[in-house]
Amino acid sequence: MYRLILIAWAILFFACKEKDMTSAPQESLKYPTTRLDTVQDKYFDTLITDEYRWLEDDLSSETGAWVDAQNKVTSGYLDKIPFRKDYKERLEKLWNYEKFSAPFKEGEFTYFYKNDGLQNQFVLWRRKGVEDAEVFLDPNTFSKDGTTSLAGINFSKDGSKAAYQISEGGSDWRKVIIIDINDKRILEDTLIDVKFSDLSWKNNDGFYYSSYDKPKGSELSAKTDQHKLYYHKLGTPQKNDKVIFGDKIKRRYVGGSVTEDDRYLFISASNSTSGNELYMIDLQDTQGKVVTLVDNFDSDSYVADNEGTKLYIVTNLNAPNKKVVTADAATPKSTDWKDFIPETQNVLDVSTGCGFIFAHYMKDALSMIKQYDYQGKLIGEIKLPGAGTASLGGAKRKEQEVYYSFTNYVNPGSIYKYNPAKSISDLYIKPKIDFDPEKYESRQVFYSSKDGTKIPMMITHKKGLKLDGKNPTMLYGYGGFNISLTPAFSISNAVWMEQGGIFAVPNLRGGGEYGKKWHDQGTQMKKQNVFDDFIAAAEYLIAGNYTSKDYLAISGGSNGGLLVGACMTQRPELFEVALPAVGVLDMLRYHTFTAGARWAYDYGTSEQSKEMFSYLLGYSPVHNVKEVAYPATLVTTADHDDRVVPAHSFKFAAALQAKHNGPNPVLIRIEKSAGHGAGKPTSKIIEESADKYSFTLYNMGKSFVKNVKN
């Protein structure tokens, strides 16, 4: 009988798919039983009971059984969405086009990444001169299910050797494989247990890399707190690798970079998400003396390039939006720095190539690139194809051209070739995709947050969209770690907009869109500003009749998952759907897992002070779930996420299921053999996207319209 009712409803749903309905049909979901723990922690004079502490143990069979039980309930719910399969098929069709990265040159070869369409991992190709391109490395052969990815590659100075990193199951722990580029022969034993590291070659003899000592207990959740910089000399075992920095001084993040001329090694060391020390070693110095440039964490600085002993340094020291300064290697301390490219009202980043310096500016989250010579003369500005995000990579000094990509919310990424000597930019590759950007519009608005601060937001949708308050709207945000959300094309969002959906992205405080001051306004005791900015964005969209509460979804990942978790617990009545992904959700204990302690600049910690503890407790999503009705919620995480451990999501989902007293579903989707997101195979990305977007439409009472004209 129930099956007949369900079939009858499905027929009615498709027959009425153009008609707005207040909600998806509600059914009583039986959630898995989650036992309550009795563990208590004392913070100053307050006892906190951690009812779900046992879910932190990722090695426990009980946790594993809980994960399987939750996935079973979630899969059962998602399987009943009548148009989920159609949504996935449209995603696959639109996804299936050739995608390219910008080329780069190493030795005699030009390399580029390419995906034929639905390949799980991008393939690294190469060509010599005008010869046909050939596959150099195909990560799709690394594992049967596509869950082992290529996590970076670096070439020796003459291009004859390469060291590449692989990630298994999405973990941040890497292996490093060293090969001869001609026959791709593996040259020596694989390096293991490398984490949060670039590889920087010293001549052709070896390279610098960074890692932690292997933690005791679970490598996916145990705290990693002391990063070290090593040097690996080719032909020697990893156990003999020399520690260059970090054994005598404890730093959570350490990285090393060798200059193109092999003259200097620069070392950055930090303990949190803002501010780094800066050191250097003259590689011609046989003693390997470490020289200090910056001895505190009050600013962010890195060396962009050098000309002999002249150093070009990008810094926000006394310049919140960053500037370029020069220094002599003989007197490199910040007191001797000289302004080269001064600070402006727009945030600066820098790349170099072909004998020029490229100043990347961000104006209201949109790209602008200016070109300078090494004497500081402004050559001009690169004319970009429009308003959006341009990413100009580096190139070696001897090269004659450099490549950049350009994208925005309606235009898939195209690759351009730029000749800096002639200031000429040419289209190199434009993707062929079944999506017409001319039928969509993306515009920037500014709205007022709770305290009156003006916040920019990009709103993208079909042209001619009727503002009747009934448009499905995805409000996406981040707001942290000095990270900027700039316009970029997304296939998932394209399908959403084909269905008449609106995609809105506000540039919240805590991000980097307006420099260090903007970042700092969303940190620690000011973190509530970020949530207020996001809530105000929702209210702006509703007041402007773009949408209404019944058609508004909020989405975000990682720090953005915290954003969604905090906003849905503070204003549950404001949203119809909530999609917190891989979120930082237990704000009292986040710093006790993996590298979480580094995030203290943004968040503060529960042990920092009584005031900070109280502030964190006041918004921590896990600790602020109350017995009220919540939006339809699909929490997403992965069992191999060792950056934001899945226990955050486990605890939040358990608390929601225990206290939610409304009819909406509150589910958790736990991906197996996946991590925080990087390297996730295309097949898993499409499946997750289909689940999230069909869940959203379903709970808005909307259907999926086949054969829609985009």
Per-residue pLDDT tens over the stretch 210-241: 999 888 777 777 778 899 999 999 999 999 99
The SS3 call for residue 614 is helix
- pLDDT digits over 254-305, tens only? 999 999 999 999 999 999 889 999 999 999 998 889 999 999 999 999 999 9
CA distance 189 to 150: 18
Phi, psi values for residue 45, rounded to 5°: -110, 20
- Given the residues 221, 334, 676, 703, select the one marked as catalytic: 676
- pLDDT digits over 489-541, tens only? 999 999 999 999 999 999 999 999 999 999 999 999 999 999 999 999 999 99
- pLDDT digits over 686-701, tens only? 999 999 999 999 999 9
The SS3 call for residue 643 is coil
CA-wise closest residue to 602 among 698, 661, 518? 518
Query: Residue 332: what pLDDT?
Result: 96
CA-wise closest residue to 341 among 367, 317, 377? 377
CA-wise closest residue to 298 among 317, 319, 283? 317
Tell me the Cα Rg of the chain.
Answer: 26
Q: Specify which residues 442 forms β-bridges with.
A: 460
Task: Mean pLDDT check: name the lowest of 23-27, 64-68, 530-534, 655-659.
Answer: 23-27
Query: Residue 157: what pLDDT?
Result: 95
- pLDDT digits over 66-109, tens only? 999 999 999 999 999 999 999 999 999 999 999 999 999 999 99
Q: Residue 311 in contact with residue 329, Cβ under 8 Å?
A: yes
Q: Specify which residues 217 forms β-bridges with.
A: none
Sheet of 227-233: strands edge to edge?
Answer: 200-202, 206-212, 227-233, 242-245
- pLDDT digits over 528-559, tens only? 999 999 999 999 999 999 999 999 999 999 99
Going by pLDDT thresholds of 50, 70 and 90, the confidence category of residue 21 is: very low
Residue 693 CA, distance from chain mean position: 20
Is the pLDDT at 23 greater than 70? The verdict is no
Cα torsion 259, 265, 269, 275: sign: negative
Q: Residue 119 in contact with residue 150, Cβ under 8 Å?
A: no
Residue 654 CA, distance from chain mean position: 26
Domains with residue ranges and CATH for the chain: 30-93+437-699 (3.40.50.1820), 98-138 (no CATH), 142-258 (no CATH)
Token output for 162: 């390469």
Cβ neighbours, 10 Å, residue 692? 22
In eight-state DSSP terms, residue 120 is S
Looking at residue 496, its amino acid is W
Query: Residue 438: what pLDDT?
Result: 96
- pLDDT digits over 609-651, tens only? 999 999 999 999 999 999 999 999 999 998 877 788 999 999 9
Query: Residue 253: what pLDDT?
Result: 93
CA-wise closest residue to 76 among 33, 34, 35, 31? 31
Query: Residue 22: what pLDDT?
Result: 37
Average confidence score pLDDT of the chain: 93
- pLDDT digits over 157-205, tens only? 999 999 999 999 888 899 999 999 999 999 999 999 999 999 999 999 9
Percent of the chain past pLDDT 70, that is, above it, reads 95
CA-wise closest residue to 138 among 156, 154, 155, 119? 119
Q: Please give the average per-residue pLDDT across 376-388, as a whole number.
A: 96
Q: Which residue has the tokens 């005598």?
A: 248
Query: Residue 12: what pLDDT?
Result: 30
Q: Please give the average per-residue pLDDT across 588-602, as a whole number.
A: 93
Is the pLDDT at 3 greater than 50? The verdict is no
Query: Residue 15: what pLDDT?
Result: 31
**Residue with the larger pLDDT of the pair 221 and 53:** 53
Query: Residue 223: what pLDDT?
Result: 75
- Given the residues 211, 558, 606, 689, select the one marked as catalytic: 558
Strand 253-258 versus strand 264-270 pairing type: antiparallel
H helices of 17-103, in order, are 61-79, 84-95
Q: What is the dihedral of CA 597, 598, 599, 603, to 10 degrees?
A: 60
CA distance 88 to 559: 27
Query: Residue 11: what pLDDT?
Result: 28
Query: Residue 26: what pLDDT?
Result: 55
Long-range contacts of 328-332 (CB under 8 A, 24+ apart): 329/264, 329/280, 329/282, 332/280, 332/291, 332/293
676 is annotated as an active-site residue:
yes
Question: How far from 389 is each of 332, 401, 402, 515, CA to CA, in Å?
Answer: 34, 20, 17, 17
CA distance 567 to 556: 11
Is the pLDDT at 398 greater than 50? The verdict is yes
Is the pLDDT at 14 greater than 70? The verdict is no
Q: Residue 170 in contact with residue 679, Cβ under 8 Å?
A: yes
Cβ neighbours, 10 Å, residue 379? 15
Query: Residue 24: what pLDDT?
Result: 56
CA distance 678 to 694: 23
Q: Residue 365 in contact with residue 458, Cβ under 8 Å?
A: yes
Percent of the chain past pLDDT 90, that is, above it, reads 86
What are the DSSP calls for 239-274, one per residue? GGPEEEESSSS--SEEEEEE-TTS-EEEEEEESSSS
